[in-house]
Amino acid sequence: MKLLESGTELDGFTIEECIHSGGMAHIYHVHYSEGARDPGFPLAMKVPRMTAGDGAENIISFEVEHQIMQILTGSHVPRFVAAGDLENVPYLVMEYVPGQTLDHWLEPSERPPVKGLAFLGAAVAIAVHSLHQQNTCHLDLKPANVLIRQDGSAVLLDFGLSCNALYPDLLAEQLRKAVGSPAWIAPEQVVGVRGDPRSDIFAVGVMLYELATGELPFGSPRTTGGLRQRLWMDPPPPRKLKPDLPEWMQEVILRCLEPEAAKRYPSAAHLAFDLRHPDQVTVTERGRNVQGTGFGVHFKRWLKAAGMQYQPSPLPAHQIDEVPIVMVAVPYKDVTDATLYSLRQAVARSMGTRPGARLACVTVISGSQSGSSSDGSETSLQRKHIAALRQWAQPLDLPGQQTSYHVLESGDVAQALVNYAVGNEVSVIVVGAATHGLKMQRFLATVPIKVAMDAPCTVILVKQALPFEMLTQQAGAAKAALDPDLDVPF
Amino acid sequence: MKLALLSDIHANIQAFDACLAHAREHGAQQFALLGDLVGYGADPAAVVERAQQLMDEGALLVKGNHDQMAVTPPAQVQTVGDTTAAWTHAQLSADQLQFLDQLPLTLQREAVMLVHASVNDPALWHYVYDERAARESLDAAAALPDVRYVFCGHVHLQTLYYRGASADLMKFLPTAGVAVPVPRHRRWLATIGSVGQPRDRNPQAMYAIFDTEKLQLTFQRVSYDHHSAAVAIRQAALPALFADRLELGR
Q: Please check whether residues A230 and A116 belong to one and the same domain.
A: yes
CB B181 within 8 A of CB B218: no
Q: Domain B2-248 is classified in which CATH homologous superfamily?
A: Metallo-dependent phosphatases (3.60.21.10)
B162 in reach of chain A (CB within 8 A): yes
B58 in reach of chain A (CB within 8 A): no
What pLDDT band is residue A68 in, cutting at 50, 70 and 90?
A: very high
- For residue A481, pLDDT over 80 is answered with no
Q: What pLDDT score was predicted for residue A220? A: 85
Does residue A3 lie within any of the structural domains? no
Chain B residue whose CA is closest to A67: B181
Does residue A306 lie within any of the structural domains? yes
A467 in reach of chain B (CB within 8 A): no
Question: Residues of A with CB below 8 A from B175's CB?
Answer: 166
Q: What is the mean pLDDT of chain B?
A: 94
Q: CB-CB: which of B160, B166, B185 is closest to A168?
A: B160
Q: What pLDDT score was predicted for residue B174? A: 94
CB < 8 Å from B in window 82-101 of A: 86-87
Rounded to the nearest 10°, the torsion over CA A364, A365, A367, A373 is -100
- For residue A377, pLDDT over 70 is answered with no
Q: Please check whether residues A302 and A399 belong to one and the same domain.
A: no
The span from the CA of A356 to the CA of A318, in Å, is 13
- For residue B229, pLDDT over 70 is answered with yes
Q: Domain residues of chain B, as ranges?
A: 2-248
Q: Please check whether residues A211 and A294 belong to one and the same domain.
A: yes
A169:B172 CB<8 A: yes
Q: Each residue of B107-135: b (16+ CB within 10 Å) or e? A: bbeeebbbbbbbbbebeebbebeebebbb
Pairing mode of beta strands B149-152, B112-115: parallel
DSSP string, B115-172: ESS-SSSGGG-----SHHHHHHHHHHHHTSTT--EEEE-SS-SEEEEEE-SSSSEEEE
pLDDT in tens, A73-88: 999 999 999 998 877 7
Q: Please check whether residues A337 and A305 belong to one and the same domain.
A: no
Q: Please check whether residues A301 and A338 belong to one and the same domain.
A: no
A170 in reach of chain B (CB within 8 A): yes
The residue-averaged pLDDT of B17-34 equals: 98
- Mutation site for A-interface testing, chosen from B170, B185, B187, B213 by largest number of A Cβ within 10 Å: B170
- Residue with the bigger pLDDT between A281 and A313: it is A281
DSSP string, B74-100: -SS--SGGGTTHHHHHHHS-HHHHHHH
ipTM of the complex: 0.84
Q: Each residue of A289-326: b (16+ CB within 10 Å) or e? A: beeebeeeebeebeeebeebeeeebeebeebbeebbbb
Q: What pLDDT score was predicted for residue A488? A: 37
The residue-averaged pLDDT of A450-458 equals: 90
Give residue A90's Cα distance to chain centre.
32
What pLDDT band is residue A466 in, cutting at 50, 70 and 90?
A: low
DSSP string, A223-269: SHHHHHGGGTPPPPPHHHH-TTS-HHHHHHHHHHT-SSGGGS-SSHH
Q: Please check whether residues A52 and A115 belong to one and the same domain.
A: no
- For residue B107, pLDDT over 60 is answered with yes
B164:A171 CB<8 A: yes
CATH of the domain at A59: 3.30.200.20
pLDDT in tens, B158-195: 999 998 666 778 899 999 999 999 988 889 999 999 99
Q: Please check whether residues A431 and A363 belong to one and the same domain.
A: yes
- For residue A97, pLDDT over 50 is answered with yes
The span from the CA of A454 to the CA of A188, in Å, is 39
Give residue B158's Cα distance to chain centre.
10
Q: What pLDDT score was predicted for residue A480? A: 46
The residue-averaged pLDDT of A274-291 equals: 92
- For residue A368, pLDDT over 70 is answered with no
- Counting residues of chain A whose pLDDT is more than 70, the rounded percentage is 84
**Domain end call among A78, A95, A112:** A95
**Domain end call among A68, A95, A122:** A95
The residue-averaged pLDDT of A351-370 equals: 82
Q: Please check whether residues A290 and A192 belong to one and the same domain.
A: yes
Q: What are phi and psi of A102, to 5 degrees?
A: -60, -20
- For residue A435, pLDDT over 70 is answered with no
pLDDT in tens, B121-171: 999 999 999 999 999 999 999 888 889 999 999 999 999 999 866 677 889
A173:B178 CB<8 A: no
Does residue A487 lie within any of the structural domains? no
Q: What pLDDT score was predicted for residue A33? A: 87
Chain B residue whose CA is closest to A314: B173
pLDDT in tens, A388-398: 999 999 888 88
Non-local CB neighbours of B223 within 8 Å, separated by 6+ positions: B18, B204, B205
Q: Please check whether residues A344 and A384 belong to one and the same domain.
A: yes
CB B176 within 8 A of CB B188: no
B215 in reach of chain A (CB within 8 A): no
Does residue A474 lie within any of the structural domains? yes
Angle at B5 between CA B48 and CA B169, to 5 degrees: 130
- For residue B103, pLDDT over 50 is answered with yes
- CA A166 to chain B, closest CA, distance in angstroms equals 6
Q: What pLDDT score was predicted for residue A473? A: 53
pLDDT in tens, A127-142: 999 999 999 999 999 9
B166 in reach of chain A (CB within 8 A): yes
Q: What pLDDT score was predicted for residue A302? A: 78
- Residue with the bigger pLDDT between A471 and A187: it is A187
pLDDT in tens, B29-64: 999 999 999 999 999 999 999 999 999 999 999 999
CB A206 within 8 A of CB A200: no
The residue-averaged pLDDT of A6-28 equals: 88
Q: Please check whether residues A360 and A458 belong to one and the same domain.
A: yes
Rounded to the nearest 10°, the torsion over CA A219, A221, A224, A230 is 0
- Mutation site for A-interface testing, chosen from B132, B159, B178, B187 by largest number of A Cβ within 10 Å: B178
Q: Please check whether residues A142 and A285 belong to one and the same domain.
A: yes
Question: Residues of A with CB below 8 A from B166's CB?
Answer: 173-175
Q: What pLDDT score was predicted for residue A478? A: 47
pLDDT in tens, B198-227: 999 999 999 999 999 999 999 999 999 999
A388 in reach of chain B (CB within 8 A): no
The span from the CA of A109 to the CA of A94, in Å, is 32
CB B88 within 8 A of CB B80: no
Query: Containing domain of residue A144, as a range?
Result: 100-319
What pLDDT band is residue A173 in, cutting at 50, 70 and 90?
A: low
Q: How many domains does chain A have?
A: 3
Q: What pLDDT score was predicted for residue A361? A: 94
B164:A169 CB<8 A: yes
Rounded to the nearest 10°, the torsion over CA A127, A171, B181, B22 is -80
CATH of the domain at A342: 3.40.50.620
The residue-averaged pLDDT of B62-68 equals: 97
Q: Please check whether residues A374 and A475 belong to one and the same domain.
A: yes
- Residue with the bigger pLDDT between A345 and A208: it is A208
Question: Residues of A with CB below 8 A from B131's CB?
Answer: 174
The residue-averaged pLDDT of A408-420 equals: 91
A256 in reach of chain B (CB within 8 A): no
Does residue A169 lie within any of the structural domains? yes
Does residue A191 lie within any of the structural domains? yes
CATH of the domain at A110: 1.10.510.10
Least confident of A262-271, A361-370, A391-400, B5-14: A361-370
Does residue A4 lie within any of the structural domains? no
Q: What is the mean pLDDT of chain A?
A: 84
CB B195 within 8 A of CB B206: yes
- Mutation site for A-interface testing, chosen from B166, B186, B217 by largest number of A Cβ within 10 Å: B166
Tell me which amino acid residue B231 is: V
Does residue A358 lie within any of the structural domains? yes
End-to-end CA, chain B: 33
**Domain end call among A319, A354, A378:** A319
Exposed, middle or buried: residue B35 (CB in 10 Å: 0-12, 13-18, 19+)? buried
